[in-house]
């Protein structure tokens, strides 16, 4: 264990989308840094020059921003540090921990075949060559990996994982074109960034053995390793397209709030007893790597929907209104001035049933309709009857008398009206709802009228009353 102040990092490769697994890795690093009062950093591993575009880098920053997890220091870009990586390789050569390998492609191929036949890893004849005999031609630089014994990756999630050194070849550190290799770059960057805890997906466990050997060769302190179990689909199979969304941006587009996703992802591989719903502050307080489980975690849409509904019910209506406006704009709906305020006012009445902000956008549609509303056939027929028309005329008058246009007074007015008419609410409620909403989904009557406001509610009733009998 280390005594240095905790510094964690997320080190995504900008290869197109930000995978949900990367988001979970970021979250655990972020929570652990916050839990320990340490720092959370971001490094962009952009050494694959073909796939690393500016747009792909943007996707990562947008994803992290959206998730609310930003770097405590300016992000580090790996490719820009290639000179530093070469410097570390030179140091390893200097220390006698690495050597120049002059094997040609053909020689390497022949050695590969021989090694396969003999059931061992590739070994270069240049490993023990005297540097004085190094020729003047292209070479790769290889790590002088220990030939026997064991390398133990002391993993905070998986426990001690033992690798037989005889099974590890001398890793190439620098290719013959002068480019540093992945494992070398990761070690140098993590060291220079003073990373104390490397928390990442368990597809990197084998790299941890290689990287441990590089740390030791450089006499650098090995970080604490923590390799997280993969995220699987609901059926237990490795997460893939057929399980639905995989990219962080897709969860956003499907109407999930970032706090829902944080809460949800925290539960994928970690947990605090049976707690299902917890705040960021609680997660930061409780999170510890030692409580991460090593079994794969399963995606569970019902749980995510449940959490999202919870956070939608908690969120500031103005914030949700802004999200709904964006959704409506993407659907090509043109909004009028004041509609955002109207949406914010409506949200408290419709959000209880909403699992996503997309559903919230559907639920506010009734309030955005413009007068005169197109009424359902059934409502129109019923309103054409004398008895109903008379009742609606009186109802209009009763509602116009309500001085405090809000749920309690409106509920009371509706109750009193039903009593005065000597009928149940069922005798005019459905029709009133039809008149107010034009057949769109709407909350209960008092809520719908409060959201619409006095003038709009009475106006919609007036429009219905002025239809030809």
Among 6, 11, 157, 461, binds ligand GLU (CB under 6 A): 11
Treating both helix axes as pointing N-terminal to C-terminal, what angle do 454-465 and 377-384 enclose, rounded to 10 degrees?
Answer: 70
Considering only the stretches 10-18, 258-266, 284-292, 389-397, report the one whose residues sit in contact with ligand GLU under the rule CB under 6 A: 10-18
Which of 23, 407 has the CB closer to ligand GLU?
A: 23
Which residues participate in catalysis according to the annotation? 241
Provide the minimum distance between the beta carbon of 63 and ligand GLU in the complex, in angstroms, as a whole number. 13
Among 24, 100, 142, 204, binds ligand GLU (CB under 6 A): 204
Q: 3-state DSSP call for residue 69?
A: coil
What whole-number distance in Å separates Cα of residue 48 and Cα of residue 60? 15
Provide the minimum distance between the beta carbon of 186 and ligand GLU in the complex, in angstroms, as a whole number. 5
Considering only the stretches 5-13, 64-72, 140-148, 218-226, report the one whose residues sit in contact with ligand GLU under the rule CB under 6 A: 5-13
Among 7, 12, 181, 433, binds ligand GLU (CB under 6 A): 12
Q: 3-state DSSP call for residue 47?
A: coil
Which of 248, 361 has the CB closer to ligand GLU?
A: 248
Within 365-424, the residues that bind ligand GLU by CB under 6 A are none
Provide the minimum distance between the beta carbon of 42 and ligand GLU in the complex, in angstroms, as a whole number. 11
Which residues, other chains included, contact 126 with Cβ-Cβ below 8 Å and sequence gap of 6+?
99, 100, 101, 102, 103, 139, 142
Q: 3-state DSSP call for residue 9?
A: strand
Handedness of CA 145, 146, 148, 152 (dihedral sign): negative
Which of 19, 267 has the CB closer to ligand GLU?
A: 19
Dihedral of the alpha carbons of 366, 367, 371, 373, in degrees to the nearest 10: 10
Within 179-198, the residues that bind ligand GLU by CB under 6 A are 186
Which residues, other chains included, contact 249 with Cβ-Cβ below 8 Å and sequence gap of 6+?
17, 18, 59, 62, 63, 66
Which of 43, 355 has the CB closer to ligand GLU?
A: 43
- CA distances to 270, 284, 468 from 27, in Å: 11, 10, 61
Considering only the stretches 7-15, 257-265, 287-295, 365-373, report the one whose residues sit in contact with ligand GLU under the rule CB under 6 A: 7-15
Among 7, 86, 197, 200, binds ligand GLU (CB under 6 A): 200
Tokens representing 242 are 């057929």
Closest-CA residue to 37 (of 69, 5, 3): 5
Considering only the stretches 6-14, 212-220, 343-351, 452-460, report the one whose residues sit in contact with ligand GLU under the rule CB under 6 A: 6-14
Contact, 349 vs 411, CB < 8 A?
no
Provide the minimum distance between the beta carbon of 132 and ligand GLU in the complex, in angstroms, as a whole number. 37
Kindly state whether residue 45 participates in binding ligand GLU, applying the rule CB under 6 A: yes
- Contact residues toward ligand GLU (CB under 6 A) are 11-13, 45, 186, 200, 204
């Amino acid at each position: 264990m280390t005594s240095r102040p905790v510094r964690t990092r997320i080190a995504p490769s900008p290869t197109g989308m930000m995978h949900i697994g990367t988001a979970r890795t970021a979250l655990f690093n972020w929570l652990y840094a916050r839990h320990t009062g340490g720092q959370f950093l971001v490094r962009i591993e952009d050494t694959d020059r073909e796939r690393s575009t500016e747009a792909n880098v943007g996707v990562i920053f947008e994803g992290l921003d959206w998730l609310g997890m930003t770097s405590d220091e300016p992000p580090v870009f790996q490719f820009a540090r290639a000179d530093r990586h070469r410097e570390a390789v030179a140091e390893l050569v200097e220390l006698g921990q690495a050597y120049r390998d002059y094997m040609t492609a053909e020689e390497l191929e022949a050695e590969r075949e021989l090694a396969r036949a003999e059931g061992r890893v590739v070994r270069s004849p240049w490993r023990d060559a005297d540097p004085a005999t190094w020729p003047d031609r292209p070479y790769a630089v290889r790590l002088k990996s220990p030939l026997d014994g064991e390398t133990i990756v002391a993993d905070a999630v998986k426990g001690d994982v033992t690798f037989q050194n005889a099974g590890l070849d001398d890793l190439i550190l620098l290719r013959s074109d002068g480019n540093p290799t992945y494992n070398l770059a990761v070690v140098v960057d993590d060291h220079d960034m003073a990373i104390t805890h490397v928390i990442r997906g368990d597809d990197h466990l084998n790299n941890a053995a290689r990287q441990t050997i590089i740390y030791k060769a450089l006499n650098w302190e090995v970080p604490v390793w923590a390799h997280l179990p993969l995220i699987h689909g609901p059926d237990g199979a490795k997460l893939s397209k057929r399980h639905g969304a995989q990219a962080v941006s897709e969860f956003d587009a499907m109407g999930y709030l970032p706090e829902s996703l944080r809460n949800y992802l925290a539960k994928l591989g970690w947990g605090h007893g049976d707690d299902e719903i917890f705040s960021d502050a609680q997660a930061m307080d409780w999170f510890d790597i030692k409580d991460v489980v090593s079994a794969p975690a399963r995606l569970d849409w019902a749980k995510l929907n449940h959490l999202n509904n919870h956070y939608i019910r908690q969120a500031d209506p103005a914030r949700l209104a802004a999200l709904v406006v964006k959704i409506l704009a993407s659907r090509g709906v043109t909004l009028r001035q004041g509609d955002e305020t109207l949406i914010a006012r409506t949200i408290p009445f419709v959000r209880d049933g909403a699992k996503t902000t997309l559903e919230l956008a559907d639920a506010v549609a009734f309030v955005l309709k413009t007068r005169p509303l197109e009424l359902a056939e059934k409502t129109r027929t019923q309103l054409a009857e004398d008895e109903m028309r008379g009742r609606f005329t009186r109802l209009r008058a009763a509602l116009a008398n309500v001085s405090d246009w809000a749920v309690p007074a409106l509920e009371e007015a509706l109750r009193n009206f039903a009593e005065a008419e000597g009928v149940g609410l069922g005798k005019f409620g459905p029709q009133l709802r039809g008149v107010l909403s034009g057949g769109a989904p709407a909350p209960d009557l008092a809520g719908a009228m409060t959201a619409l406001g006095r003038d709009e509610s009475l106006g919609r009733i007036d429009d219905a009353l002025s239809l030809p009998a």
